[in-house]
Amino acid sequence: MKRLGKLQIDIRTIHSAIYHQQATLDYLSQILDNLREKIEEGNRNAQISAQELQGAISNLTTTVEKALENLRNGEQATNIDAINEEGEGAGAKVEEEAPIEDNNMVEKQANEEERNDAAAEPKEEAVSAKEEKKEERAQLGHEARTIQSNQDYIEVLEIEMEDASLSDEVDEAKERQEVEIMEEPVRAEPEREELLIPEEAQLHDEELLVPALELELGQNRQAIADLNLMIEELENQKTCWPRRYHGKIQKSCERNMSCAFCNEIGDHYSDSCTEIPTGRERREVLNMKRRCATCLEYCSGGDLCKKAYDRCSHCHETGHHSALCELPDTSQDIFQRLEQAKESRERHFQRIDQIQMELQDLRQVPLP
């Protein structure tokens, strides 16, 4: 009963250590999920901003092209109006200088009045044409200034897009590096240096890396403390040498002895049976056969058994046969878990050394 009580306490301790490890893993998983959500949100915002800037540039480019086309059409229309104006002026001049020979004074005066009226109309048209030209020139000048300002704005937008693209690349590199810090417990130093090529990005990353590395350092130390507790409990548990499964019968007087579990005659002792190897399975077989757990034969059991006070060769206790002892089975499991715990602890020690070296390098970087 004492041994079973101690084993239950050890199992509770192991469960506690496993719970601490699971809580640590859940915390790391939550941090990773938050980082992934921030990365996805940043990528979506960057795509939306890039699409908006691209649309604005496309609209401005279309406006500039239309304005340039209107400017070219306006210049052509101005040249045609100038040619028409010169032709009308020349015709009016010819009409004024043409000699009119008419002996009738009334007809001469009437002709002069008609010529004066005809000459006045082209002058009015010329004045209105000049005013229209002035308005067109003013409008064209305004359009030219608008085109120039739009071109300047387009250049500014292109520069901003280049800067935004470079900033997005730097942010993506930093976010990828943070995810790698949490996902890879053992990370190579050259990979981190490749991501930190720009000086500004490197200085900004140091502010993010130091808290993350300090957090990981504390988690590794807590894991080592839990593993030390587990190793101590495993080492304090009772163990024995593994069971020998190759014990062949060599004495001639035992040639007719049969195995209590597989019923093989003259081949091996019951403790070395490979057909039914574990103590728990062997107890089930004996219970079905209704045999004694101390002598493996048919007897009344208890103190009346001829081997009631014989000690087990594995646990050195009485009350059961050596072939039924479960200590060799549990000992093998304890040895395996102990080896795994020590290997895991060694990996955490190595990771702590790496983190301390990284923190030392980051804290020695001079400020700009």
Q: Is residue 259 a contact partner of residue 270, using CB atoms and an 8 Å limit?
A: yes
- Contact present, 63 and 150 (Cβ < 8 Å): yes
Higher pLDDT, residue 233 or 70: 233
Structure tokens at 347: 């990996």
* Residues 293 and 286 sit within 8 Å (Cβ to Cβ): yes
Q: What is the pLDDT of residue 326?
A: 92
Question: Rounded to whole angstroms, how far apart are CA atoms 96 and 114?
Answer: 11
In one letter, which amino acid is 106?
V
Give strand pairing partners of 268.
248
Task: Say which DSSP state 265 is in.
Answer: B
Task: Judge whether 244 and 272 are in contact, CB under 8 Å.
Answer: yes
Distances (CA, A) of 66 to 69, 70, 152, 273, 298: 5, 6, 17, 97, 110
Rounded to an integer, what is the distance from CA 362 to the centroid of its chain?
Answer: 23
Mean pLDDT in residue range 91-108: 49
Instruction: Give the pLDDT band of residue 249 (cuts 50, 70, 90).
Output: confident
Q: Are 163 and 198 in contact (CB under 8 A)?
A: no
Task: Return the pLDDT at 321.
Answer: 92
pLDDT > 90 in the chain, percent? 26
In this prediction, residue 3 carries a pLDDT of 46
What per-residue confidence (pLDDT) applies to 74? 65
The answer to whether residues 350 and 220 touch, using CB atoms and an 8 Å cutoff, is: no
DSSP 8-state assignment for residue 197: -
- Beta-strand runs (E) in the chain: none
Model-level pTM greater than 0.85? no
Contact between residue 276 and residue 261 where contact means Cβ atoms under 8 Å apart: yes
Phi, psi of 92 (to 5 degrees): -65, -40
CA 112 to chain centre: 95
- The reported pLDDT for the residue numbered 225 is 95
- Mean pLDDT within 116-131: 57
Round to whole Å and give the CA distance between 349 and 346: 5
DSSP string, 46-93: HHHHHHHHHHHHHHHHHHHHHHHHHHHHHHHHHHHHHHHHHHHHHHHH
The Cα–Cα gap between 228 and 233 comes to 9
**Where exactly are the structural domains of the chain?**
12-172
Q: How does pLDDT run across 297-342, given as a tens digit for each residue? A: 998 888 889 999 999 999 999 999 999 999 999 999 999 999 999 9
Q: Calculate mean pLDDT across residues 255-262.
A: 87
The overall average pLDDT reported for the chain is: 73
What is the rounded average pLDDT of the residues 208-218? 89
Distance from the first to the final alpha carbon of the chain: 69
Q: Which residue has the higher pLDDT, 210 or 170?
A: 210
Which of 3-12, 222-231, 297-306 is predicted with the least confidence, judged by mean pLDDT? Answer: 3-12
Model confidence at 190: pLDDT above 50: no
**Would you say residue 272 has pLDDT above 60?**
yes
Report residue 244's pLDDT band, with 50, 70 and 90 as the boundaries.
Answer: confident
Evaluate whether 287 touches 296 at the Cβ level (below 8 Å).
Answer: no
> Mean pLDDT over residues 71-85, rounded?
60
Distance CA 198, CA 186 (A): 24
- Quote the longest CA-to-CA distance of the chain: 177
Q: How far apart are CA 13 and CA 21, in angstroms?
A: 13
Q: Which residue has the tokens 């479960």?
A: 326
The reported pLDDT for the residue numbered 6 is: 46
State the Cα–Cα distance between residues 343 and 345, nearest whole angstrom.
5
